[in-house]
């Protein structure tokens, strides 16, 4: 039976300080995910990755992880230098570390995603070992990768708030052009969309009706 990994990322910088709502949502996201995924027959491991946290924030995250029985990992030094921009809102930190275990089914979850139930498409993706992401209900927000994604799949509307990575799926952030990175928030979503579009294995999009 395939092992599952669920992982969250939380961090802050000079442009983006964490408020009480961020900690509360992380707490609820973990709690509800564990209620649901612990009922699956799969063996599941849970991690919270943190970066650049102030001492007070570290204490809050430690309290959340301890209360929920989730392993805490400091990934502050795990991103390539050119992706570490700390003066802007930066979502590249979700790829520190790109994969914990490439032999597992690994789900990267944003802190503002709270499961009320297991989406049917996600359940199917785990069962079939498919790559899976969320449908974006607004449009395509891909930053510096917009043209690249459109060249592969102009119809893809992907939200990177959840990415389910099947065994063998690798995430190569070292392929990014260091010189051309201008946007550090939406470009991460564009990079994720590009990896999804180029993937030739089984892949699914969780539709808005399940979100």
Residue 188 has pLDDT above 90, yes or no: yes
**137, 210 in Cβ contact below 8 A?**
no
Note the pLDDT tens digit of each residue in 128-187: 999 999 999 999 999 999 999 999 999 999 999 999 999 999 998 887 876 677 888 899
Q: Supply the pTM of this predicted model.
A: 0.94
Residue 19 has pLDDT above 90, yes or no: yes
d(C-alpha 211, C-alpha 135), whole Å = 9
Note the pLDDT tens digit of each residue in 127-140: 999 999 999 999 99
Residue 191: strand, helix, or coil: helix
In sequence order, which ranges of 54-164 are alpha helices (DSSP H)? 55-68, 120-128, 146-152
Note the pLDDT tens digit of each residue in 67-97: 999 999 999 999 998 898 878 888 999 999 9
Determine whether domain 4-210 maps to CATH 3.90.550: yes
Mean pLDDT, rounded, of the chain = 94
Residue 60: strand, helix, or coil: helix
d(C-alpha 153, C-alpha 9), whole Å = 28
Number of Cβ within 10 Å of residue 140's Cβ equals: 19
Give 136's DSSP letter: P
Q: Closest Cα to residue 133, out of 166, 102, 100?
A: 166
pLDDT of residue 87: 81
Residue 64 has pLDDT above 70, yes or no: yes
**184, 88 in Cβ contact below 8 A?**
yes
Give 16's DSSP letter: B
Q: Closest Cα to residue 65, out of 36, 21, 34?
A: 34
Residue 50 has pLDDT above 90, yes or no: yes
What residue ranges do the domains of the chain occupy? Answer: 4-210
């Amino acid at each position: 039976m395939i092992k599952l990994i669920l992982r969250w990322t939380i961090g802050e910088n000079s442009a983006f300080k964490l408020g009480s709502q961020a900690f509360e949502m992380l707490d609820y996201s973990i709690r509800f995910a564990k209620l649901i995924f612990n009922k699956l027959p799969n063996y599941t491991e849970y991690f919270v990755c943190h970066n650049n946290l102030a001492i007070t924030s570290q204490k809050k995250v430690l309290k959340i992880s301890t209360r929920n029985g989730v392993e805490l990992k400091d990934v502050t030094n795990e991103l390539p230098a050119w992706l570490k921009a700390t003066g802007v809102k930066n979502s590249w930190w979700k790829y520190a570390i790109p994969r914990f275990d490439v032999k597992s089914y690994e789900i990267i979850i944003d802190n503002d995603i709270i499961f009320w139930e297991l989406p049917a498409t996600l359940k199917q993706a785990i069962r079939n070992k498919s790559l899976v992401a969320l449908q974006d209900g607004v449009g395509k927000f891909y930053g510096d990768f917009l043209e690249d994604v459109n060249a592969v799949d102009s119809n893809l509307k992907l939200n990177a708030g959840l990415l389910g990575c099947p065994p063998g799926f690798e995430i190569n952030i070292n392929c990014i052009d260091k010189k051309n990175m201008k946007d550090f928030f939406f470009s991460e979503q564009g990079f994720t969309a590009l990896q999804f579009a180029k993937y030739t294995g089984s892949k699914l999009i969780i539709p808005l009706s399940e979100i």
